[in-house]
Amino acid sequence: MADLRPPATGPDSRRERAQLILVTGFVIAVVLIALALVMNSAIYTENLATRSDSSGATDAAAYQRTIESAALEAFEYAHAVNDSGYDGLNRNVTDAVAGIDAISTRQEATYGHVPNLSVAATVNGTAITDDAGVFDSQGGADNWTVASAISDVRAFNVFVDDRTDLNESGDREFRVVARAPTERWYMNVSRDSSANEIVVGVNATGSYDTCRRSAPKLWINVTAGTVDGEPCDALTFAEGISTSQYDLDIRNGSAVRGSYSLVVDEDVRVAYGAAAFDDPTAEAALYNMTVDLFYRTAELDYRSKIEIEPGDHDG
């Protein structure tokens, strides 16, 4: 039977209400603490799982960075000591990577990790250089083809040491041209005598853009898109050339004096005869090298392919 008595009044009723509020607050506090414990437990479990999953990945990423640096040094050293063409280059890089693999295997074994490295592939190329002065051909031609039927260029540097023969007219602009059957990209170097500046201009995808420098000499890293170490937004090598192969030309080579060097991804040495002292030279070079990397830990099996391409993009 329901209690129809009127609510109590006086000190006892106020004490009961205070106790009820206290109990309710305590219950809410317990619920909040329980929720906090559940949340913290979930966060801790997730962090622990993430830490456990990523520990092997972190080791693998650190190992890959180390191998990339070591393989790049080995690649460059193999070219520095090469004296027997592509066979010697391939033997040098294969032996160097095998040496890196042996050393790293011993080191990683102390942590219970199992790495493995091997050369998966190399691409034959040609290193072309001329540091004797004018940029003409071996036969003295002002307009000539540096390399034919290539599809990639890396580490392309031009040093302009003397610009006195440059002028603003097209017949005395020094030009580098990437030429496909229906497409063309070019970079020209000219002199703005009124402002006493060298102008590096690029024609690509139907537009012409420039960057200017007032220095009497300048370095142009064509594939990295820099002039004297500073970015030149206009300079994007071979932009707009969509075909798989193109020819690389020099126009008005005698308009500047200085030096240049580049590596192309084809063996074009047959186009060069015995070079005189002041002629461009072409030597066997590997354009790039691909290294297979395998790295195993207790938590992870990691596989990757590392492409070693010095001066690449660069550009």
Helix, strand, coil content of the chain in percent (nearest 5):
35, 35, 30
What's the pLDDT at 101?
95
How far CA 44 is from CA of 54, 130, 186, in Å, comes to 15, 62, 59
**Confidence at residue 184, expressed as pLDDT on a 0 to 100 scale:** 93
Q: 11-80 vs 85-109: helix axis angle to the nearest 10?
A: 150
pLDDT score recorded for residue 166: 59
Helix (H, G, I), strand (E, B) or coil at 253: helix
Q: Nearest CA to 272 among 180, 156, 144, 173?
A: 144
**In the chain, domain spans:** 123-288
pLDDT digits (tens, 9 = 90+) for 246-284: 999 999 988 888 999 999 999 987 777 666 566 788 999
Q: In the prediction, which pLDDT does 2 show?
A: 46
The 10 Å Cβ neighbour count of residue 18 is 10
pLDDT value, residue 192 = 81
- What integer pLDDT is reported at residue 206 of this predicted model? 80
**How many Å from the N-terminal Cα to the C-terminal Cα in the chain?**
91
Residues of the chain with pLDDT under 70: 1-55, 162-171, 273-278, 312-315
Check: CB of residue 237 under 8 Å from CB of residue 178.
yes
Contact criterion met (CB below 8 Å) for 64 and 304: yes
- Read off the pTM: 0.77
Tokens representing 310?
Answer: 């010095």
Pick the CATH number of 123-288 from 2.60.120, 3.30.70, 1.10.1760, 3.30.870: 2.60.120
CA-CA-CA-CA dihedral for 231, 305, 262, 223, to nearest 10: -20
DSSP 55: H
For residues 196 and 216, give the distance between their C-alpha atoms in angstroms, rounded to a whole number. Answer: 9
pLDDT at 175: 93
Q: What does the DSSP 8-state code read for residue 122? A: E
Amino acid 314: pLDDT: 52
**Identity of the amino acid at 264:** V
What residue spans of the chain are helical by DSSP H?
Answer: 11-80, 85-109
What is the per-residue pLDDT for 291? Answer: 97
Burial class (CB in 10 A: 0-12, 13-18, 19+), 197: middle
- Quote the pLDDT of residue 169: 46
